[in-house]
Chain A
């Protein structure tokens, strides 16, 4: 079983819609959770960090964490073409980040 799994993509949404990304992790002791955005040919950029159960909102982005279900999600509201990228779910285990395979999102104008 992979340590971090994301819903398979690619995900295509119309401009202005909500994009929903899901992620599950296997290590119940994990404490730190992240969403990174990676444009093609670029390095990952931190979008959200979340450490406690519940929702965390930052602009058009909302991260949700449920440690009991070992589940992390990211909602992108009012999706824009500039949101088209690969989104990586990452969980800090022990001393390093474990990444999901990524979900590629395409926002159609």
Chain B
């Protein structure tokens, strides 16, 4: 299957700082990427849809000024958690959409575990 990478895989930061997470599609171009958050024992929650060259589309209840998304190229999207607080501690997972001949397929990155102290 296609490969999507994320960096860093884990990060610990102090409350009030900003954290940037990178998501890359390594072997295909992705005009659309997605950012999810997953809390322990819960399902994935879609935060936003990232489209190359345009503004991200945020799901209801997700603060766009707190979670900044940039999709500057066909292989890279970044999520910046600004002024992070302990309640932002979570598992952040990106995915990239690949359009194959038979249909669309979404591949997930390995995730970034954020801990805010």
Q: With contacts A96-B49, A101-B43, A102-B43 known, is A43 near B103, CB below 8 A?
A: no
Interface size on A, residues (CB 8 A): 21
A28–B32 alpha-carbon span in the complex (Å): 24
Q: Which residue of A41, A43, A51, A95 is within 8 Å of B49 (Cβ)? A: A95
Q: With contacts A31-B103, A34-B106, A92-B104 known, is A46 near B1, CB below 8 A?
A: yes
A90–B43 alpha-carbon span in the complex (Å): 12
> In the complex, which residue of chain B has the Cβ closest to the Cβ of A36?
B108
Q: Which parts of A36-52 form the interface with B (CB within 8 Å)? A: 36, 41-46, 49, 51
B104 near A32 with CB under 8 A, answer yes
A43–B91 alpha-carbon span in the complex (Å): 9
> Which residues of the partner chain A approach B93 to less than 8 Å between Cβ atoms?
43-44
A64–B104 alpha-carbon span in the complex (Å): 18
- Where chain A touches its partner, the secondary structure class is strand
A97–B34 alpha-carbon span in the complex (Å): 10
> Which residues of the partner chain A approach B49 to less than 8 Å between Cβ atoms?
95-96
Interface size on B, residues (CB 8 A): 20
Q: With contacts A44-B44, A99-B43, A102-B43 known, is A32 near B110, CB below 8 A?
A: no
Closest chain A CB from B105 CB (angstroms): 5
Q: With contacts A96-B46, A102-B43 known, is A43 near B108, CB below 8 A?
A: yes
> In the complex, which residue of chain A has the Cβ closest to the Cβ of B92?
A43
> In the complex, which residue of chain B has the Cβ closest to the Cβ of A101?
B43
A36–B93 alpha-carbon span in the complex (Å): 14
Residues of B within 8 A of A (CB): 1, 32, 34, 43-44, 46, 49, 57, 91, 93, 102-111
Give 23 pairs: A residue, B residue, CB < 8 Å, sorted on A: A32-B104, A32-B105, A42-B110, A43-B91, A43-B93, A43-B108, A43-B109, A44-B44, A44-B93, A44-B108, A45-B108, A46-B1, A49-B103, A51-B103, A88-B43, A90-B106, A92-B103, A95-B32, A95-B49, A97-B34, A97-B46, A99-B44, A102-B43
